[in-house]
Amino acid sequence: MQQSLNTHIGMETETVVIFVVLAIVAFLVDMWAHRGDKPISLKAAVMWTLFWIAIGLSFALFLAYHFNTEVASLYLAGYMFEQALSVDNLFVMMAIFSWFGVQEKFCHRVLYWGVLGAVVFRLIFVVIGSSLFAMGPVVEFIFAIVVLFSGVMMLRKKDEEEISDFSSHMAYKAVKWLFPIFPKMVGHAFFLSHKEVEAEMAKPENSGIKLKRTGAWFCTPLFLCLAVIETTDVLFAFDSVPAVIAVSREPLIVYSAMMFAVMGLRSMYFVLDAMRQYLVHLEKAVIVLLFFIAFKLAAGASEHLFGFGIDIDVYVSLGVIAVILGIGILSSLIFPKKDEKK
């Protein structure tokens, strides 16, 4: 019980203000720097990734100074875990961008709106998840099963099972049902008015295009891509939110950790895109982490319900997450994926 007393921060006003101001200022700086449709170099992506990591760590230092190291450790554990889970999400986004044929200079715009959606949906999930956890140990067992199931599904997934046709995705079908589609990218536009579509159809290079439906507004393939990415991220949140809440039950710690991790994903996307072949074992590390979180939840619930189990403290959790991620990255560098082409 001592741990919960030491790490209970509630919705303390000063901490909320610091978090909101720091997140908004950093986000506005990022938006201003990437306001144009320009491809992002690997060097720039690395620098912006380090910028967001520095923002996340600065908030951890504030928590350590304002509260204690246990609170900061809970935050760091959640932050690292969300970063690790987001890597698999980003790999899926790479496949989505590739299937839709999105040019690299437009990826940042799509990811920008995707991050805004993640900010909203994760807030909703954190509020719901924290409320459910407060209902007692039985809910912890349920969440342990959910997290364990996520790990098993990732373990069973094979490279060849990746989706190759996103036209069957539920978000793709929903958008096509709601809006007529103009089947060609037009700059970074998500929507085109009827007048703009007529202007596009008058161009010689679009003479072969036939519209299946008409309307006041048409959505472009870029919006279809955004819809698929947003829906995919929501599905990933069903895995990540219970896992991060398992580390800390404090909604402010959970949400701030997830937000500072998620808001840096746009820059990290371009870094991971370049380093994808060098991080081949990181997904295995994420699977092990999911199994660890499921065990932590089940063991803690068992102790509260039956009097036997293990209550894994914050420092052990942080150490396990750091070690497993370190092993995943190090093993990827030492044992890279062999080129199967002969």
Structure-token pair, residue 282: 């990181």
* CA 290/CA 293 separation, integer angstroms: 5
In this predicted model, what pLDDT tens digit does every residue of 107-127 receive, in sequence order? 888 888 888 888 888 888 888
- What pLDDT is recorded for position 7? 64
Whether the per-residue pLDDT at 64 is higher than 90: the answer is yes
Torsion from C-alpha of 276, 282, 284, 286, nearest 10 degrees: -120
Confidence band of 191 (pLDDT split at 50, 70, 90): very high
* CA 305/CA 302 separation, integer angstroms: 5
Give residue for tokens 């370190």.
326
For residue 191, what are the β-bridge partners?
219
C-alpha neighbours within 13 Å on the C-beta side of residue 271? 15
Contacts (Cβ under 8 Å, ≥6 apart) of 142: none
In this predicted model, what pLDDT tens digit does every residue of 281-329 receive, in sequence order? 777 888 888 888 888 888 877 877 777 777 777 778 778 888 888 888 8
- What pLDDT is recorded for position 163? 52
Whether the per-residue pLDDT at 341 is higher than 60: the answer is no
- What pLDDT is recorded for position 1? 35
- Lowest mean pLDDT segment, chosen from 51-60, 71-80, 81-90, 191-200: 81-90
Domain ranges across the chain:
2-181+220-334
- pLDDT (average), residues 34-41: 75
In this predicted model, what pLDDT tens digit does every residue of 173-186 receive, in sequence order? 999 999 999 988 88
Whether the per-residue pLDDT at 57 is higher than 50: the answer is yes
Q: Strand, coil or helix: what is 135?
A: coil
- What pLDDT is recorded for position 295? 87
Name the DSSP letter for residue 189.
-
Confidence band of 276 (pLDDT split at 50, 70, 90): low
